């Protein structure tokens, strides 16, 4: 096979970059152009990809030996196109971020979606992994009695079954990532859809309020309100309130861990191994906190490359803090926006899971990315849970950066990894259910 000369390859890549840069300006019927571009690049021969990587000054195989040429090209494209941002630009960034995240997703998970963007109508699509998935957006109350959107997914195979007789009566409550400042129910639609299709579980994705307009602890309050709503309404989704699993990626992973802590412990206690100034929940006159003791405990949690310790540098910060999907400047910006005008001070158990009471938290499945600035704090948090005797499984996906769930349909190897991760977490949950069932029978 003949390979185009370098000048032609560079011209082609320049055209690709211009197409990617203008994705946000495309009409709805072209909204997934980025998916096709990034996926198509992966079909090119490795020598061609390496030519592109050389042109972009992408990471080399010597730097990241576990990352293939396609993944390193995606990282290089992101680094070249990613503009510097300021706190004052975060609100404007949200629409661009949401557009790009949808543009990367497979069109198949959006088929037959109503063209009207009011998100009030039920949608469905083709069968994936044997399950047809439908979804519907609902409006529930946030922690301050305002409106909050949630997106509810159901698999056809479980939607009509009695929750008490259904082996798949699990419901996943998902919190999206985005540094507490960007993201919504659309940005992680593909992942939530995949979980529902593979497991037949119901899935509920939460559009909690964002910083800087709504600083900490608004996000965790909204997430707790969503948990309370789901505990009351799980049966309407063919699920049981005793089988809620918490999931989130990045900042959403941190929020999932915080919800697990707060529901497991009706009040926050100061951590015995951290000199942290932690206020009791009674200091916050918030009804949802006062009702925590009446909520069912979560069955398990899946944390995907989570934020667990805001404000602490780990070795992975130095190793992977520049030139990847998330760098230290991004983190500093997001954290500044999240904590600006907050009533909480660092370190605090309503900000970082590392400082909360983890002694009674639910079984946890923690997934870290090898090439991630947050890798080490995820692993340290997993070790902390293990030291408390919590049932923990940890998995590191090699050769991938922060935010890898958004690349699951454009990178073949990562697509297989995500399918495997969802399957393994489903097995993890079934084992927990089996253990609880056996314990109940013995009693």
What is the C-alpha to C-alpha distance for residues 16 and 77, in angstroms, rounded to an integer? Answer: 10
From 372, 376, 406, 409, active-site residue? 372
In what helix (H) or strand (E) does residue 364 lie, and over which residues does it extend? Answer: strand 364-371
Closest of 200, 185, 201 to residue 246, by C-alpha:
201
235 is catalytic: no
Q: Is 75 exposed, middle or buried (0-12, 13-18, 19+ CB in 10 A)?
A: buried
250 is catalytic: yes
What is the C-alpha to C-alpha distance for residues 278 and 281, in angstroms, rounded to an integer? Answer: 9
68 is catalytic: no
From 158, 250, 264, 352, active-site residue? 250
From 35, 70, 214, 402, active-site residue? 402
Strand ranges inside 7-146, DSSP E: 123-128, 131-141
Ramachandran class of 13: left when φ > 0, alpha when ψ lies in -120 to 50, beta otherwise:
alpha
In what helix (H) or strand (E) does residue 369 lie, and over which residues does it extend? Answer: strand 364-371
What is the C-alpha to C-alpha distance for residues 333 and 331, in angstroms, rounded to an integer? Answer: 5
What is the C-alpha to C-alpha distance for residues 252 and 309, in angstroms, rounded to an integer? Answer: 13
Query: How does DSSP classify residue 396?
Result: E
In what helix (H) or strand (E) does residue 368 lie, and over which residues does it extend? Answer: strand 364-371
The catalytic residues are 250, 372, 402
């Amino acid at each position: 096979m003949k390979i185009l000369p370098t000048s032609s390859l560079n011209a082609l890549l320049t055209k690709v970059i211009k197409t990617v840069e203008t994705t946000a300006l495309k009409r709805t019927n072209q909204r997934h152009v980025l998916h096709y571009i990034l996926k198509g690049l992966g079909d090119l021969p490795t020598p061609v990809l390496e030519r592109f990587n050389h042109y972009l000054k992408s990471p080399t195989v010597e730097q990241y030996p576990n990352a293939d040429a396609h993944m390193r090209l995606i990282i290089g494209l992101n680094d070249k196109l990613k503009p510097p941002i300021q706190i004052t630009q975060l609100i404007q960034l949200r629409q661009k971020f949401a557009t790009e995240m949808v543009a990367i997703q497979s069109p198949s998970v959006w088929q037959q979606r109503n063209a009207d963007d009011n998100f009030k109508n039920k949608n469905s699509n083709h069968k994936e992994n044997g399950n047809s998935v439908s979804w519907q957006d609902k409006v529930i109350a946030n922690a301050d009695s305002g409106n909050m959107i949630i997106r509810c997914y159901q698999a056809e195979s479980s939607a009509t079954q009695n929750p008490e007789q259904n082996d798949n009566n699990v419901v996943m409550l998902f919190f999206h990532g985005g540094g507490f400042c960007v993201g919504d129910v659309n940005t992680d639609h593909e992942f939530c859809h995949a979980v529902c299709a593979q497991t037949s579980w119901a899935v509920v994705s939460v559009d909690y309020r964002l910083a800087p307009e709504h600083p900490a602890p608004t996000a965790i309050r909204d997430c707790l309100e969503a948990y309370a709503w789901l505990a009351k309404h799980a049966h309407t989704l063919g699920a049981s309130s005793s089988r809620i699993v918490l999931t989130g990626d990045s900042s959403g992973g941190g929020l999932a861990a915080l919800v697990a802590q707060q529901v497991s412990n009706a009040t926050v206690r100061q951590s015995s191994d951290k000199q942290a100034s932690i206020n009791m929940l009674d200091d916050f006159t918030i009804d949802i906190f006062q009702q925590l003791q009446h909520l069912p405990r979560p069955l398990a949690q899946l944390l995907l490359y989570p934020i667990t310790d805001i404000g602490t540098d780990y070795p992975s910060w130095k190793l992977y803090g520049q030139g990847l999907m998330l760098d230290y400047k991004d983190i500093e910006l997001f954290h500044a926006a999240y904590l600006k005008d907050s009533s909480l001070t660092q370190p605090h158990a309503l900000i970082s899971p590392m400082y909360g009471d983890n002694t009674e938290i639910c079984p946890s499945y923690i997934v870290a990315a090898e090439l991630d600035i947050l890798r080490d704090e995820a692993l340290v948090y997993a070790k902390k849970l293990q030291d408390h005797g919590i049932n923990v499984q940890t998995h590191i996906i090699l050769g991938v950066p922060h935010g890898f769930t958004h690349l699951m349909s454009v990178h073949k190897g990562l697509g297989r990894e995500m399918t495997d991760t969802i399957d393994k977490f489903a097995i993890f949950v079934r084992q927990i259910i089996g253990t609880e069932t056996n314990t109940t029978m013995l009693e």
